[in-house]
Amino acid sequence: MSTHHPEHDLSGYGDGTRSVRAGEDPAVPGAPLRPSPVFAAPFHLGDQPPRANGADAYARTEQPTLRTFEDAVGELDGGRCLSFATGMAALTAAVLSCVRSGDRVVLPSDGYYTTRLLAAEELARFGVEVQYVPTPEIERVAASGGLAGAALVLLETPSNPQLDVCDIAAVATAAHAAGALVAVDNTTATPLGQRPLALGADMTVGSDTKALTGHSDVLLGHVTVTDDALHARVKGFRDRTGSTPGPFEAWLGHRSMSTLDLRLARQATNAAAVVELLDGHPAVTNLRWPWRPADPSYALAARQMLRPNGVVSLELADEAAVSRLLGASRLWAAATSFGGVHSTVDRRAQWGGDDVPAGFVRLSCGIEDTADLVADLRGALDAV
């Protein structure tokens, strides 16, 4: 059962309005201004068979608070959304619902390392062939016929952690001609920063733990599609494997995404100021932010993406230099993940999954005052 109300279509409104109003029911006098969580696992059946007239029966397969969150995210993504307990649960469902033993899956070799772990430890075990292609190379591989015979192509753009961008529309056209589905991990961009479904992708996947919910206090993920049959496949996989989130997490996610527009705007402002400080600094090399005019991905990001965000990558000399930076900072915390309201520094090599130098760091600019962040980082760089 869906709570989506066509009369409340928000497609003509701006990002702020859509973020606040997405997933809302029509106003009823006396009802709460925002929906409250429904804490229920089983539901009364009465004398009706399960799911009669769309009624809920059991929360693993249908739950009103999950639907509210899904309606809200689907409104931003431009499709039908399914929620998951984590981003990796969502990505796993997107892949495993669409492939079988003997199929070939194309994955980014420079994307999120747990996706590659999923391929190496699980897909290989089930007889799924994996082809790894770096994000900057996937468009060339697609244009040259390298996707022939693939069942699924997964893109991650901007890639995590190096922030390379690929052309979703071009790859989707080539993949569909080769008979493959296309999924896009849209975590870094968020639904406000990029709309993969409108660019031709079959699925958009997000780790909502990060910028979508943005407060570093909830694990969530989602898959959004436009095709009803594909929706049924992904939902069937989720329902059978039990990777649905709880109602409190879904409610917290819906509440938190109301401020997505505001948070992204401040994070992007902070990132632009931080990049200006870092650009040309003697302690910094390989600075990456797709909205920096000198960045290799700038032209494509400007054409394909809707707005910037706050994730920046760079290299310092070594692990010790990163430690000195963190030791001299008051506002930049050492933490993984990104997209939250706090500004963080993540030395990626410490996790062992990314092919990056020891001094490679991913900065996630939070929503602190821009001048404070820049001043703090300038002082910390002096200690490097």
With 70 as the cut, is the pLDDT of residue 1 above it? no
Residue 137 is predicted with a pLDDT of 98
Residue 8 is predicted with a pLDDT of 63
Q: What is the pLDDT of residues 140-180, one digit of tens each?
A: 999 999 999 999 999 999 999 999 999 999 999 999 999 99
Confidence of residue 43 (pLDDT cuts 50, 70, 90): very high
Question: How many alpha carbons fall within 13 Å on the CB side of residue 196?
Answer: 32
With 90 as the cut, is the pLDDT of residue 116 above it? yes
**Crossing angle (nearest 10°) for helices 64-77 and 247-256:** 40
Residue 25 is predicted with a pLDDT of 86
Confidence of residue 50 (pLDDT cuts 50, 70, 90): confident
Q: What is the DSSP letter of 317?
A: S
Residue 11 is predicted with a pLDDT of 84
Q: What is the DSSP letter of 122?
A: I
Give 3-state DSSP helix, strand, coil % of the chain, rounded to 5. Answer: 40, 15, 45
Strand 152-156 to 104-108 pairing:
parallel
Residue 6 is predicted with a pLDDT of 41
Q: Which residue has the tokens 């329902």?
A: 239
With 80 as the cut, is the pLDDT of residue 3 above it? no
Mean pLDDT of the chain: 95
Whole-angstrom distance, CA of residue 370 vs CA of residue 384: 21
Closest of 1, 220, 233, 198 to residue 94, by C-alpha: 233
Q: What is the pLDDT of residues 296-338, one digit of tens each?
A: 999 999 999 999 999 999 999 999 999 999 999 999 999 999 9
Q: Side chain identity at 2, as an amino acid letter?
A: S
Q: What are the tokens at 337?
A: 């993940």
Residue 335 is predicted with a pLDDT of 97
With 90 as the cut, is the pLDDT of residue 106 above it? yes
Whole-angstrom distance, CA of residue 198 vs CA of residue 222: 17
Residues 359-373 have a mean pLDDT of 98
- Degrees to nearest 5, angle at CA 86 with 80 and 87: 70
Q: What is the DSSP letter of 164?
A: -
- Mean pLDDT lowest for which of 28-37, 235-244, 249-258, 264-273? 28-37
Residues 341-352 have a mean pLDDT of 96
Residues 53-63 have a mean pLDDT of 92
Whole-angstrom distance, CA of residue 121 vs CA of residue 242: 20
- List phi, psi (to 5°) of 273: -70, -40
Whole-angstrom distance, CA of residue 52 vs CA of residue 39: 21
Closest of 250, 366, 242 to residue 311, by C-alpha: 366
Q: What is the pTM of this model?
A: 0.95
With 60 as the cut, is the pLDDT of residue 5 above it? no
Close Cβ partners of 96 (under 8 Å, ≥ 6 residues apart):
237
